[in-house]
Amino acid sequence: MEIFRTIKSIRSMLDGARLQGKKVGFVPTMGNLHQGHIELIKLAQKTSDIIVCSIFVNGLQFGLHEDWDKYPRTFQADCEKLQAVSCDVLFYPDENQMYPNGLGSQTRVICSSMTEYLCGASRPGHFEGVTTVVSKLLNIIQPDKMILGKKDYQQLAILHRMVEDLCFPVNIVEADIHRETDGLAMSSRNSYLTILERHNAGQLHKSLRWVADKIRLGDRNFTALEKEAIRQIHEAGFKPDYISVCNSKTLEMAETNDADITVLGAMYGSSARLIDNISLN
Ligand code: PAF
C-alpha cells in the first residue's frame, strides 16, 4: 500500500491511474479502523480498480466540548488492517494540508436541509464540518465511487444531497451496518464504553428493532413507540438523545401513511455517544 501525505503527490499519482483508464473507489475515514471500515474497502474493491482510503480526524466536525483530542489515533494498526485487505492507497494528510489557512477562516460547505435536527440538534456545526471536509476530499481524490456506511444514516442522506446539489461527479455506494453479535453497530467510539456499558450497549439496536417490528405489525402511533424505546434505553443505564421515526429520504418525522421509514436513535454513555438506525423497506 502506498501512503500519500500531500495533496500534490496523491493528485499526480491518481492522474496517472486515470490516464490508464482505472476507476477510483474512495473510502473516507477518521481512522481507528474496525471491521465495518474493512467491509467498506471490500465493497469498493468489487467495483473499482484502485482503492483509496483516507484517514483524517477532522477538527471541523467536532464541537468545542467533544472528543477531538481523545479520538483514538491508531495509525500503525490501521495501516496493518488496510494492508491485510489489500487496500491500494492511503491518503493521510495533516491539518496543514487540509486547512492551510486555519480552521476559523476555512470556506465552508453548508447543506441547508437535514442538518439541524436529530444528530444536528445535539451537535451544532457537526454536519457543516462533514460536508466541508468531504467536499475537499472529493476535489482532491476525484473518485468515481465513494463508499459510505449506513450507520451514519443522517450523514449519508446529507452527503447524497450535497453531491446532487453541487454536481460532484461521484456515485455514492451505501454499505450495510456491520454489527457485533449483540447487535451493537460497530463504531470507533465503542472503545469509550465502560465494561458495564458495553455489556448493555446492544439496547440501542434492540429498542430500534422493537420500534421497527411494531411498525411492521401496523402500529402507527410513532410518538408512543418513540417514548417507550426511550424508556427502555433509560432503563438499560444510558441517557437517550433521541429515538425518531422518520421519512427515509427527508429525515423529517414520518407521516402515518409513509411507506419508506427509517427509525433512528442516539444515546449517551458516560463518555460515548452512540448512534444507530433501522430502515423498514
Ligand atoms: O464518517 C466519518 O468517519 C467522517 O464523518 C468522514 C465521512 C470521514 C468525514 O470526516
CATH number at residue 206: 3.30.1300.10
Q: Which residues contact 136 (CB under 8 A, 6 or more apart)?
A: 98
Ligand 1 centre and the CA of 274: distance in Å?
A: 15
Q: Give the residue whose CA is nearest to atom 6 of ligand 1.
A: 29
Q: Is the CB of 272 under 6 A from ligand 1?
A: no
271 domain residue, yes or no = yes
Does 1 score more than 90 pLDDT?
yes
- 262: containing domain: 188-276
Q: Quick one: pLDDT at residue 110?
A: 97
Same-domain check for residues 98 and 38: yes
Q: Quick one: pLDDT at residue 13?
A: 98
Average pLDDT estimate for 178-189: 97
Same-domain check for residues 7 and 90: yes
Q: Is the CB of 78 under 6 A from ligand 1?
A: no
Give CA–CA dist 54/34, Å, rounded: 14
Q: Quick one: pLDDT at residue 22?
A: 98
Give CA–CA dist 205/25, Å, rounded: 30
Domain end, chosen from 175, 197, 228, is at: 175
Same-domain check for residues 229 and 207: yes
Whether the Cβ atoms of residue 269 and residue 197 lie closer than 8 Å to each other: yes
Same-domain check for residues 26 and 156: yes
The atom number, within ligand 1, closest to the CA of 54 reads 8
Same-domain check for residues 134 and 27: yes
Same-domain check for residues 223 and 124: no
Is 37 labeled as catalytic in the residue annotation? Answer: yes
Q: Is the CB of 204 under 6 A from ligand 1?
A: no
The atom number, within ligand 1, closest to the CA of 149 reads 1
Q: Where are the beta strands (DSSP E) in the chain?
A: 2-4, 24-29, 50-55, 89-91, 145-149, 171-175, 239-247, 261-268, 273-279
Whether the Cβ atoms of residue 26 and residue 50 lie closer than 8 Å to each other: no
Give CA–CA dist 81/201, Å, rounded: 25
Same-domain check for residues 65 and 192: no
Q: Is the CB of 133 under 6 A from ligand 1?
A: yes
Sign of CA dihedral 220, 225, 226, 227: positive
Q: Quick one: pLDDT at residue 281?
A: 78
182 domain residue, yes or no = no
Does 54 score more than 90 pLDDT?
yes
Mutate to test the pocket of ligand 1, among 34, 134, 150, 277 (most ligand atoms within 8 A of CB): 134
142 domain residue, yes or no = yes
Which residue did the predictor score with more confidence, 141 or 65? 141
Q: Quick one: pLDDT at residue 139?
A: 98
Average pLDDT estimate for 80-97: 98
Same-domain check for residues 135 and 255: no
Taking the model in full, what pTM does it have?
0.97
Domain end, chosen from 136, 154, 175, is at: 175
Span 212-270, pLDDT tens digits: 999 999 999 999 999 999 999 999 999 999 999 999 999 999 999 999 999 999 999 99
Q: Is the CB of 58 under 6 A from ligand 1?
A: yes
Same-domain check for residues 237 and 120: no
The count of domains in the chain is 2
Span 89-123, pLDDT tens digits: 999 999 999 999 999 999 999 999 999 999 999 99
Average pLDDT estimate for 37-65: 97
Across the chain, mean pLDDT equals 97
Average pLDDT estimate for 12-16: 98
Ligand 1 centre and the CA of 215: distance in Å?
A: 31
Domain end, chosen from 117, 148, 175, is at: 175
Same-domain check for residues 46 and 166: yes
Which residue did the predictor score with more confidence, 53 or 64? 53
Mutate to test the pocket of ligand 1, among 155, 170, 188 (most ligand atoms within 8 A of CB): 155
Whether the Cβ atoms of residue 126 and residue 114 lie closer than 8 Å to each other: no
192 domain residue, yes or no = yes
Q: What percent of the chain has pLDDT over 90?
A: 99
Q: Quick one: pLDDT at residue 64?
A: 87
Give CA–CA dist 167/47, Å, rounded: 21
Ligand 1 centre and the CA of 77: distance in Å?
A: 19
Give whole-number Cα distances, 51 to 56, 100, 172, 188, 229, in Å.
16, 26, 14, 21, 40
Give whole-number Cα distances, 216 to 183, 249, 262, in Å.
19, 19, 12
Q: Is the CB of 188 under 6 A from ligand 1?
A: no
Same-domain check for residues 143 and 80: yes
Give CA–CA dist 187/180, Å, rounded: 10
Q: Is the CB of 274 under 6 A from ligand 1?
A: no
Place of cell 491518503: 91
Ligand 1 centre and the CA of 58: distance in Å?
A: 8
- Please state, as a whole number, how many other Cβ atoms lie within 10 Å of the Cβ of residue 19: 8
Q: Give the residue whose CA is nearest to atom 3 of ligand 1.
A: 29
Helix (H), strand (E), coil (C) string for 123-140: CCCHHHHHHHHHHHHHHH
Give CA–CA dist 183/97, Å, rounded: 38
Span 139-183, pLDDT tens digits: 999 999 999 999 999 999 999 999 999 999 999 999 999 999 999
Q: Is the CB of 29 under 6 A from ligand 1?
A: yes
**Which residue type is seen at 275?**
I
CATH number at residue 125: 3.40.50.620
Q: Quick one: pLDDT at residue 65?
A: 87
- Of 34, 37, 65, 234, the active-site residue reads 37
